[in-house]
Amino acid sequence: MKYDYIIIGGGSAGCVLANRLTENGKYKVALFEAGKPSDIWKVKMPLAILYTMHDPKYNWKYYSEPEPHLNNRKLFCPRGKMIGGCSAHNGMVYVRGNPNDYERWASFGLKDWSYEKVLPYFKKIETWSEGENRYRGGNGLLPVNQSKNKNPLFKAFVDSATEAGYEMNPDMNGKNQEGFGMYDVTIDKGERASVSKHYLNPAKNRKNLTIFTDFFVEKIIFDGKKAIGIKVKIKNKVENIFVNKEVILSGGSINSPQLLLLSGIGAAEHLKEKGIEVIHNLSGVGKNLQDHLETYIQQECKTSDTLYSYVNKFNMLRIGIQWFLNKTGPCSTSFLEAGGFAKSSPERDYPNIQFHFFPAFVIDHGLVEPDRHGFQLHASPNHPKSRGSVTLDTSNPYDYPKILFNYLEHKDDLKQTVEAIKIARKILGQSSMKPFAGKEIGPGSDIQTHELYEEYVRSKAETAYHPSCTLKMGIDDIAVVDQKLKVHGIENLRVVDASVMPEITSGNLNAPTLMIAERASDFILNS
């Protein structure tokens, strides 16, 4: 078997690439995904996100190494293991990031990634429910809808944010990100609008596209420093598949650096230590890992407007039947739609904190059901200064890599998090929340000193599920790809996923990942 392009990874970026690279009919493209197809009700139902997050058939279910600044806790790191990747199991909140994020990227010598350059690609992605304008798209493949969830807790929360002195913002993906309101979501007609559904499905019957699921790519094959194919496991037999033009790595911020290392591209010392032949010494592979760390402020709710109403088996069955029959009701939404962006202190240049409001308690990533009505506000610094890594544990491609986020290594990250908790408490303490707000469960009214705030963060903070930046784009010593996403020093090999971000963007990462893939498609087709 030989193809013009081989795409490794059928997640968000891989689905976009598969569509765009086969559009003109000129090129023969193969998409390889280690996981399964995602055309199942657990993916389609928005409220069922936890079913795939904890299912090893559909999720890699990684854990970090003991995090030294989080009381040596190992943090859960779920990653989609199916067609559609994380777009098939995320919270469906659609956030582009702040325009200033891309101006920062451009300032690193990456002029092709300024806000002016990326905005047309963000517009190209979407059909926005509120209509096309200078900042928003109206004719894209992906339906992006501003949430209309009528839960009274959402209105109370947004009203409270304005009472606390923050702006209301009707479009946080438009001209300005700062402010509070209802997020855009990738939910359409009561179903998850995954990238597999809206990008891959329209392309899957093209004669020049072959999709392989349950196919594990063990290694990239090189001739000298030129990528010429892949080693892939097919029905317990390892086969070589070759490429005419390029191998494109779209495995995500954990799997992509792991595969590069297994293939002999990375820090020579690390590769030799694992007994791997060094193809190219590239010290930045797996470095620069970034994520958003969030802390929950939890309060009991005095009314029954929370998801605890559906823990009851009868009610769960009732709302499930309602969704299966006509795609309406509570199961047709994620309940993650209210939130906003703010500065934690006046010296910040642009909003450095993201807030997510959720009308229920989340305990151990949803594995433990709450025992009462409650709500929580997630507070997360957008621009962490701490840096982690993804390294090999062994040279066996089936062994999981070692992930160390190194959260809070930089003291400013802890400072911002404490400031964010104080803002969250201020918002939840306003009069609009009074009819709903009961006893504060976390941190708890006894947590008032700076030392106690810090210990609450170290003992309770969790990932926002946004690992990124492990194969950074740039021109510095640890850059792995150039601004056209080609791997430095290697021919015919590109990386297209969230790992190429030089710095993490402000907010959820699915929208920026799609933009990167749309932009990369043009780079590839025009090269």
Q: Is 55 exposed, middle or buried (0-12, 13-18, 19+ CB in 10 A)?
A: middle
Starting at the earlier edge strand, list the strands of the sheet with 93-94. 93-94, 184-185, 142-146, 126-128
Q: Residue 314: count other Cβ atoms within 10 Å of its Cβ.
A: 8
Q: Where are the alpha helices (DSSP H) in 408-480?
A: 411-428, 450-460
Q: Which amino acid is at 91?
A: G
Rounded Cα distance, 161 and 468, in Å: 30
Rounded Cα distance, 60 and 82, in Å: 10
The answer to whether 290 and 384 have CB atoms below 8 angstroms apart is yes
Q: What are phi and psi of 506, to 5 degrees?
A: -85, 100
Rounded Cα distance, 412 and 416, in Å: 6
Instruction: Exactly one of 280, 292, 383, 466 is catalytic; name it.
Output: 466
Tell how far CA 104 is from the center of its chain: 20
The b/e string for 135-149 (b: 16+ C-beta within 10 A; e otherwise) is bbbeebbbbbbbbeb
Report which of 481, 474, 464, 477 is spatially closest to residue 384, judged by C-alpha positions: 464
Report which of 513, 420, 369 is spatially closest to residue 11, judged by C-alpha positions: 513
Q: What is the DSSP string of 179-197?
A: EEEEPEESEETTEE--HII
Q: Is 410 a catalytic residue?
A: no
Q: What are phi and psi of 107, to 5 degrees?
A: -70, -15
Q: Which residues contact 497 (CB under 8 A, 6 or more apart)?
A: 9, 11, 12, 13, 14, 249, 250, 251, 252, 253, 256, 513, 516, 517
Report which of 70, 119, 64, 77 is spatially closest to residue 97, judged by C-alpha positions: 119
Rounded Cα distance, 246 and 491, in Å: 8
Torsion over CA of 116, 121, 126 and 127, rounded to 10 degrees?
70
Q: Residue 108: count other Cβ atoms within 10 Å of its Cβ.
A: 17
Helix (H) or strand (E) holding 378: strand 374-381
Q: Where are the alpha helices (DSSP H) in 23-67?
A: 41-44, 49-53
Report which of 154, 128, 125, 156 is spatially closest to residue 141, judged by C-alpha positions: 125
Report which of 468, 333, 444, 273 is spatially closest to residue 387, judged by C-alpha positions: 468
In 174-267, which ranges are E strands? 179-182, 184-185, 187-188, 191-192, 209-213, 216-223, 226-234, 237-249, 265-266
- Which residues are known catalytic residues? 466
